[in-house]
Amino acid sequence: MHLRLTGKTALVTGASRGIGLATVTALLDEGARVVAAARTITPELRATGATGVAVDLTETEGAARLVERARAELGGLDLLVNNVGGGDADAGWTGGFLDVTEQQWSDAFDVNFFASVRTARAALPHLVEARGAIVNVSSTSARTPHAGPIAYSTAKAALTAFGKALADEVGPLGVRVNTVSPGPVRTAMCESPDGYGAQLAASLGVPHAQFLEGLPATAGMVTGRLAEPAEVAALVVYLGSPLAVSITGADHIIDGNSVKTV
């Protein structure tokens, strides 16, 4: 399907791997020009040909600097993909509420919520000018908060609510805002030997490989498999395209039907 993105301009955060990297690749394949932001510009990101910008979006002025660089590189901005999220592996995430420190709460909100808020604020004047779009990448943990670390799930719930509220405010200005909420995806968060998935497996006394094999069934995914980053990216890119002109304010779940509520 031709998504009419040829020559359009996009900024993708959290772009070094996983869903972010797949989104950068999908946008480039559709003919868009892309600035890709991450704390570290990985060889895989560099190989895409996108303009990589190293930035820490948990810093107060990081988002403003990033958007200004993107505007200068691209000459405008049609699409913002707020994909940055997750966080550094931390053993405290596998515990309960009382195991999560004040700093861990702050860090979780900085990377999973405030980074996107700051970037959206900086990008909005350019998106209004272009009558563009924002796609926020949240998580099904926002709907099923027991399924993830409490601080992460709560921050993602805030991000989902933010997208809904912002869509209502900026819709009359010509800017669409949507959310994509993946369930378990084959990314480093699940698969890395020092990531959250490995730590959760260890806390359950289960080998990491066995944990991953059983995760789709445990999560209630009727597809019997984890989603792939490229599958999530395809939805993100469609929502950012002119073909989705009437879709705004929605939270799109891609989870193999693990969320059983309507």
Question: How confident is the prediction for the chain on average, in pLDDT?
Answer: 95
What is the domain range of residue 172?
9-183+227-251
The one-character DSSP state at 87 is: -
Number of domains, the chain: 1
pTM over 0.85: yes
Examine residue 262 and state whether it is found in any structural domain, yes or no.
no
Reported as a pLDDT band with limits 50, 70 and 90, residue 34 is very high
- 196 counts as catalytic: no
The reply to whether 221 falls in a domain is: no
Strands (E), the chain: 9-12, 33-38, 51-54, 79-82, 133-137, 176-182, 251-254
Q: Is pLDDT above 80 for 90?
A: no
The stretch 140-147 carries a mean pLDDT of 93
Q: If pLDDT is split at 50, 70 and 90, which confidence band does 92 have?
A: low
Question: Residue 125: inside a domain, yes or no?
Answer: yes
Q: 91 pLDDT exceeds 60? A: no
Tell me the average pLDDT across 112-116.
Answer: 98
- pLDDT for 135 beyond 70: yes
Q: For the domain that residue 37 is a member of, what is the CATH number? A: 3.40.50.720
Tell me whether residue 196 is in a domain: no
In a domain, 4, yes or no: no
Q: Residue 193 domain-assigned?
A: no
Average pLDDT over residues 10-18: 98
State the Cα–Cα distance between residues 2 and 149, nearest whole angstrom. 38
Active-site annotation holder among 93, 109, 152, 238 = 152
Three-class secondary structure of residue 108 per DSSP:
helix
In a domain, 77, yes or no: yes
Say if residue 262's pLDDT is above 90.
no
The residue type of 33 is R
Does residue 237 sit within a domain?
yes
DSSP label at 134? Answer: E
Report pLDDT for 189.
Answer: 86
